[in-house]
Structure 1
Amino acid sequence: MEALLSQFTFLSDQSLHDKSFDPSTIEDLMKLFEIESYKAWAAAELEQEREVEEAEDAMQEAEEHLNSAMESAMDEFRRFEEELERISRDEVESLVQTAEKARNMGNLMEKKASIASKKYIEAALNSATASMKSAWKGISSGKVHPS
């Protein structure tokens, strides 16, 4: 393009100084300018298309990377969720077992307390009966103790 500008400058100077100058030479030069402009435009368009393709490829690669990262994160979340669910289930089972043991122990303690109270009542009745028998023997034998 610089060579064409240099040629245009030369022909412009020549047209000013030379009366026999043929203007068609400038027209030919202008056609060369036009051709060179189209070439530059086509090259710029090709470069732009190449850059667009590179940008699209980079976007596709970034999208694939993002999808991969999202899938990986979701897999990790699912594993975490499953582990948390397993831990919760184990905790609930442990609490249920502890509650069952406490209930069984409560039932056993209730039975033991019931047996103990029956034995206490029996002992109290036996003691009262023995006291009554002793008192009755004392009365029937005629031995009354002065109080």
Structure 2
Amino acid sequence: MEALISHFTFLSDQACYDKSFDPSAIEDLIKLFEVEAYKSWAAMELEHENEVQEAETDMKQAEEYLDSVMESAMDEFRRFEEEMERMSKKEMEGLVETAEKARKMGKLMEKAATVASKRYIEAAMNSATASMKSAWKSLSSNRVHPS
């Protein structure tokens, strides 16, 4: 492009000083400018398309990386969720087992209290019966004659 500008300057100077200058020489040069401008535009268009292609490739790589990171995060979340579920299930089973043991212990204590209260009542009844028999015997053997 600089060579064309330099040649244009030379032709312009020649056109100013030479009365026999042929203007078609400048027209040929203008056509060369047009061709050069078209080449420059085509080169810029190609460079632009290459940059677009490169940007699309970079974007695709970034999307793939993001997908990979998201998948890893989701896998980690699923593992965490499963572990928490296992832990909570184990804890619940432990609580259920403890509650069942407490229920059985309560039933045993209820039976023991029932047996103990029945024996206490039986012993009290036996003691009262023995006291009544003893009192009855002593009343019957200590009879006073009316005489």
TM-score range, shorter chain: over 0.9
Residues 143 and 21 of structure 1, relative CA distance in 2, 3 Å threshold:
farther
- Normalising by structure 1, we get a TM-score of 0.94
Question: What residue number does 2:114 align with?
Answer: 114
Aligned residue type for 1:114: T
State yes or no: 1:40 paired with 2:40: yes
Q: CA deviation at 1:143?
A: 6.7
Q: How many pairs does the alignment contain?
A: 144
Aligned residue type for 1:127: S
Question: What residue number does 1:63 align with?
Answer: 63
- Unaligned 5+ segments in structure 1 are none
Q: CA deviation at 1:138?
A: 1.2
Aligned residue type for 2:30: M
Aligned residue type for 1:42: A
Secondary structure of 1:22's aligned partner: coil
Question: What residue number does 1:91 align with?
Answer: 91
Aligned residue type for 1:102: A
- Normalising by structure 2, we get a TM-score of 0.94
Distance 1:110 1:67 in 2: 63
Secondary structure of 2:19's aligned partner: coil
Question: What residue number does 1:5 align with?
Answer: 5
Detail structure 1 runs of 4+ shifted over 6 Å in the superposition. Answer: none
Which moves more between the two structures, 75-84 or 107-116? 75-84
Identity %: 73
- Unaligned 5+ segments in structure 2 are none
Question: What residue number does 2:103 align with?
Answer: 103
State yes or no: 1:140 paired with 2:107: no
Distance 2:143 2:125 in 1: 25
Distance 1:124 1:139 in 2: 22
Residues 143 and 50 of structure 1, relative CA distance in 2, 3 Å threshold:
farther
Q: CA deviation at 1:61?
A: 0.4
